[in-house]
Amino acid sequence: MIKAVIFDMDGVMIDSERLYREACTEIVSRYGGTVTPELFDKQMGLKMEETQRVVVEIARLPLTPQEFGRMYIERFLEIARERLGPNPGLVELLEFLSPRVKLGIASSTEKSVIMEIVEQIGVGRYFQTIVGGDEISRSKPDPAIYLHAASLLGCNPEECIVIEDSPNGIKSGTAAGMEVFAVLHDENRHLDLSGAGKVFENLVEVGEYLRRRDGLSSRRC
């Protein structure tokens, strides 16, 4: 019996990967770094402190990871405040799930950024717990963040569905013993998402599937 659904945020709930890419490209270019596909692929699903290190190393920036990270997040939030909204199907999916299961977010993004974004897109009220990457010592693909979210929700791992978009996130949810769905978008179609139990084009398809599926708890655990 499924009693909880735990969402990754970036790329799943919001179309943020292109905005992160834009912010990253601006800063890397400003400091004479090299922008490559590897630069973006290697940071997907990582917590912020690891993303900072990866970008500085690959792009060969004359910055410390902390200096890059501060500018990166500031620029991302500036862009996000102007242009970010919920992904198609998200609100409808949350409306369907919220009377039936508990809901959580487990994202490698820092908690303060997650909180700002979920309030901006108007979905904060749906979630019983939100876990940020800065609250967990081991990042995805380690299962720690999903196990912690399940514990906060009061559910066993096998009672949880994870919705992800990155190979590291899929590995994390799978290692936690949870059922994992992957959602496609323009930034991850070339990545190996085969570790997910099911792969969907978007959240609309996820909602259609779950409406047909038996095994969602009729009441939250």
Q: Which residues are identified as catalytic?
A: 8
Using the 8-state DSSP alphabet, how is residue 82 labeled? Answer: H
CA distance 209 to 158: 19
Please check whether residue 174 is in contact with residue 180, taking contact to mean a CB–CB distance below 8 angstroms: yes
Q: Cα(107)–Cα(164) distance, rounded to whole angstroms?
A: 10
And the tokens for 192? 């190996």
Q: For residues 136 and 140, what is the distance between their CA atoms, to the nearest angstrom? A: 10
d(CA 198, CA 208): 13
* DSSP state for residue 105 in the 8-state scheme: E
What is the CB-side half-sphere exposure of residue 72 using CA atoms within 13 A?
26
Q: Are 182 and 193 in contact (CB under 8 A)?
A: yes
CA distance 6 to 46: 17
